[in-house]
Amino acid sequence: MKCLVTGGGGFLGLAIVRLLRARGDDVVSYSRSRHATVEALGARCEVGDLTDATALARAMRGVACVFHVAAKAGVFGPRAEYERVNVIGTTAVVAAAIKAGVPRLVHTSSPSVCFDGLDHLGASNDLPTARSFLAHYPRTKLLAERHVLSWNGRGITTVALRPHLLVGPGDPHLLPRVAERARAGKLWIVGDGRNLVSITDVENAAWAHLDAADRLEPAAPHAGRAYFVAQSEPVAIWSWLAEVLARAGQPGPRGRVPLAVARAAGAVCEAWWAITRRPGEPPMTRFVALQLARSHTYDLGPTQRDCGYFERVDNAQMTERAVRSICAP
């Protein structure tokens, strides 16, 4: 089978490319630059912007399934860039796939489209999407998800997957940033530190994409729907982070900060970054404060039942891989 992976050089995209190539699929990676790691796996790199209809059409030729993974991530930044990549880019990918006659598209969404600042324990597919957002990323990801699912049955079959907090070898974001803050003495527990969180080993997230794609037909139960992806067992996130950091030889959190204090600090930081137009992300935002303090766990029953997904990397293996991701040079 010939597959196209947008963002094939990224953390999750590369994991999907690796699994597809391991089983013998013909793979095209579409991103803004060439990636030696992708080409070393035997995949072909097509270079282009997500909004470039001509480049997308070239990449889509002969493709049987699109994995749309590429996105503008992060918790702070210009609204226009999030909308250009996550909304306009996704619209262009769907349009190109339909025009090229691609029968299936698996879209990488995010559980943050449902995050309303409250605790979510064992949330299933019927969890409502949020009505307001404290960051551009979840808002634009929701718009993208809705667009993808709205086209199901209209020339293409689609599904959206929502992997939560990816960790594992090659992690360029989550745990390396946590470890960096810990080394700088800037890592604090927000809230009471007892919140439960579902996290996801990147290999499990990649397998979920392949499992969903392999069963994706017009009459499939997951066609036109969104599903959460995570480890089968959540973790007490602050205890888990402390364990991972300790095993990696890194310091742990310095202490605790009440959620109200962290949220107020986030509001001040957001305002200051906006007024001064400082580059990068603030050290705290309201969205991050709530994410760090609230419980968010998900029921994988529907994903297992409808998509045929099952966990390949258990929590013990995930933790070991997470430690290695921090220790790796």
Cβ partners under 8 Å of residue 315, min gap 6: 231, 233, 235
d(CA 262, CA 188): 10
The proportion of the chain whose per-residue pLDDT surpasses 70, expressed as a percent, equals 99
Among all residues, which ones are annotated catalytic?
137
d(CA 123, CA 201): 19
Q: Is 227 helix (H, G, I), strand (E, B) or coil?
A: strand
- Assess if residue 271 is contained within a domain: no
- Assess if residue 261 is contained within a domain: no
As given in the structure block, the two tokens for residue 102 are 């691609």
Mean pLDDT of all residues belonging to the chain: 95
Output the pLDDT for position 53: 96
Output the pLDDT for position 71: 96
- Assess if residue 175 is contained within a domain: yes
Which CATH number fits the domain that encloses residue 100?
3.40.50.720
Residue 110 domain boundaries:
2-248+283-327
Structure confidence at residue 277 as a pLDDT band (50, 70, 90): confident
* Count: domains in the chain: 1
- Assess if residue 254 is contained within a domain: no
The proportion of the chain whose per-residue pLDDT surpasses 90, expressed as a percent, equals 91
262 closest CA partner among 284, 241, 281 = 284
d(CA 281, CA 279): 7
**Are the C-beta atoms of 34 and 58 separated by less than 8 Å?**
no
d(CA 322, CA 207): 18
234 closest CA partner among 122, 110, 113, 97 = 122
Structure confidence at residue 328 as a pLDDT band (50, 70, 90): low
As given in the structure block, the two tokens for residue 164 are 């939560």
Output the pLDDT for position 236: 97
- Assess if residue 256 is contained within a domain: no
Output the pLDDT for position 87: 98
What is the average pLDDT across 129-153? Answer: 96
Output the pLDDT for position 48: 95
- Assess if residue 268 is contained within a domain: no
Output the pLDDT for position 75: 86
User: What pairs with residue 167 in β-bridges?
Assistant: 201
d(CA 193, CA 321): 23
d(CA 44, CA 320): 32
Output the pLDDT for position 294: 97
Output the pLDDT for position 220: 98
Give, in order, the Cα–Cα distances in Å from 43 to each of 1, 63, 276.
13, 13, 43
Cβ partners under 8 Å of residue 81, min gap 6: 72
Output the pLDDT for position 280: 83
Structure confidence at residue 142 as a pLDDT band (50, 70, 90): very high
- Assess if residue 133 is contained within a domain: yes
- Assess if residue 266 is contained within a domain: no
What is the average pLDDT across 80-92? Answer: 97
* Helix locations, the chain, DSSP H: 11-22, 36-40, 53-60, 79-82, 89-100, 136-150, 174-183, 202-214, 237-247, 259-276, 286-293, 301-307, 315-327
What is the average pLDDT across 79-88? Answer: 96
150 has pLDDT over 60: yes
User: What pairs with residue 296 in β-bridges?
Assistant: 120, 197
19 closest CA partner among 161, 209, 212, 230 = 209
**Are the C-beta atoms of 6 and 85 separated by less than 8 Å?**
no
What contacts 24+ positions apart, CB below 8 Å, involve 42-46?
43/5, 43/8, 43/17, 45/8, 45/9
Phi, psi dihedral angles at 268 (to 5 degrees): -65, -45
120 has pLDDT over 60: yes
**Are the C-beta atoms of 285 and 266 separated by less than 8 Å?**
yes
Cβ partners under 8 Å of residue 295, min gap 6: 119, 120, 121, 195, 196, 197, 234
